[in-house]
Amino acid sequence: MNNNNNKGPKCWICNDTGFVTLEKKANQYTYEYAERCTCKEGQKASSKIRSIERELAEIMAMENYIKFNEGK
């Protein structure tokens, strides 16, 4: 194990931004929209923005973690 590398964000779901950008496909178009993260950063954001579902949050966290480890 090499722990000398950058450890990455505190929150793998939103990379500490408080928001998660999601894509939604409708007809031929892909829309991007944001949802609030469940972490501390996300709680700072306006409550008008809906928070991400737990199941989706776990998928996002896993994807971000994989991307990070691939060095992307």
Which residues have a Cβ under 8 Å from the Cβ of 61 and sit 6 or more positions away? 11, 12, 13
DSSP string, 54-67: HHHHHHHHHHHHHH
Min dist CB 29 to Zn ion, Å, is: 27
The residues binding Zn ion (CB under 5 A) are 11, 13-14, 37, 39
Q: Which of 10/27 has CB closer to Zn ion?
A: 10
Min dist CB 10 to Zn ion, Å, is: 8
Min dist CB 39 to Zn ion, Å, is: 3
The DSSP symbol for 16 reads T
Q: Which of 35/39 has CB closer to Zn ion?
A: 39
